[in-house]
A = this chain, B = another copy of it.
Amino acid sequence: MANIVTPASPLGEFGRIARFFAPLAAPEALGLVDDVALIPGPPGEQYVLKTDAIVEGVHFLPDDPPALIAQKLLRVNLSDLAAKGAVPFGYLLVTALPKSRGDDWLARFAAGLAEDQARYGIGLFGGDSVATPGPATLSVAAIGRIAAGRAILRSGARTGHRLYVSGTLGDAALGVIAAKGTDLGIAASDRDFLIDRFRLPQPRLNLGARLVGIASGMMDISDGLVADLGHMAKASGVAGVIETARLPLSTAAAAALARDPARVQCALGGGDDYELLFSAPVEADAMLGSLARELALPITPIGRIEAGRGVRVLDPAGHELRVESAGYKHF
């Protein structure tokens, strides 16, 4: 989940984490680099732990359908489990709700959870319900299972490996723009597709689990491709190179970019796509092609890992591009 920086903090979000929370981290937290912790599970297994929160007016809109809010909350957490190759197991839920959210709202919220529990084979482990005089604030702590020692970490990217993404990029960022009322100049069905991609992430759990033993480094894209590749490059001590000509676009996003090529920035810098970004050795390429066909989900090579640091973005001519936004902007 993308976070936002409070203006009262000259440190910013990552500075705050480094300064205040990293010193508190247990060894199981992997230096807070992966957004998950790994703890010992039953024989041969580990648990993957992850928590994410969403706030009304920041991460979702007051009038969003309650079932969709519930599913987005759950899925942003499941996406992080997918990005480690884990299989989801269950979750804890905290709801801080204003009085304006009555039983009818909660019934529809719970229905959304029930639907996704069935979809992803998980159950509710417990929770806390409190009242708040402020906006609805919801959080989930999700637990996944993975074979011991097999979780795919952000720190695993290696020089010479190829860089891949699942699905298509930029849809959610274009969807936010459309949802706010901007006419993208595209068909209504394309606009609806983009808005739907923003509203309801599809955690790539099937793909993530299948990448265990194949991908060297992995994370989900929630802050935007360039920003997230920056996190992975830093964690791995390498540099990432993106070739914009290779970015996978949906039909809808391609239509929006045809109207305004500058919108490629949505694919590079926009957040909330919740696709998987991973590195893998060149030899894995054919296997990834088969896997993409089997799962009916595009897996696209978009660049490479090199020695060095940071992220370079190359235009179709091979020239370095400047990326406008290195992180997701909320409403």
Which of chain B's residues have a CB closer than 8 A to the CB of A90? Answer: 26, 28-29, 37, 39
Tell me if B94 and A24 are in contact (CB < 8 A): no
* Min CB–CB distance A24 → chain B (angstroms): 4
Contact digits for A108-129, partner B, Cβ 8 Å, 1 yes 0 no? 0110011001000011111111
Instruction: Answer yes or no: A256 CB below 8 A from chain B CBs.
Output: no
Residues 35-77 (chain A) with a chain B CB within 8 angstroms:
35-37, 39-43, 47, 49-55, 57-59
Tell me if A122 and B26 are in contact (CB < 8 A): yes
Partner-contacting stretch, out of A131-139, A245-253, A298-306: A131-139
Tell me if A40 and B39 are in contact (CB < 8 A): no
Residues 123-163 (chain A) with a chain B CB within 8 angstroms:
123-135, 137, 139, 141, 143
What is the CA–CA distance of A237 and B36 in the complex, to the nearest angstrom?
40
Which of chain B's residues have a CB closer than 8 A to the CB of A295? Answer: none
Interface residues on A, range: 35 or more
Q: List 6 A-B contacts (CB under 8 A).
A: A6-B97, A20-B109, A21-B124, A25-B124, A32-B126, A53-B94
> Which residues in A have some Cβ–Cβ distance to B below 8 Å?
1, 3-11, 13, 16-17, 19-21, 23-29, 32, 35-37, 39-43, 47, 49-55, 57-59, 89-90, 92-94, 96-103, 106-107, 109-110, 113-114, 117, 122-135, 137, 139, 141, 143
Which of chain B's residues have a CB closer than 8 A to the CB of A23? Answer: 110, 114
Tell me what chain A mostly uses at the interface: helix, strand, loop, or mixed. mixed
Which of chain B's residues have a CB closer than 8 A to the CB of A102? Answer: 6, 8-9
* Min CB–CB distance A292 → chain B (angstroms): 31
Which of chain B's residues have a CB closer than 8 A to the CB of A35? Answer: 126
What is the CA–CA distance of A52 and B36 in the complex, to the nearest angstrom?
20
What is the CA–CA distance of A90 and B129 in the complex, to the nearest angstrom?
22
Look across to chain B and name the residue whose beta carbon is closest to the beta carbon of A91: B26
What is the CA–CA distance of A24 and B58 in the complex, to the nearest angstrom?
27
Tell me if A126 and B51 are in contact (CB < 8 A): yes
Tell me if A29 and B124 are in contact (CB < 8 A): yes
* A24-B128 CB under 8 A given contacts A137-B134, A141-B92: no
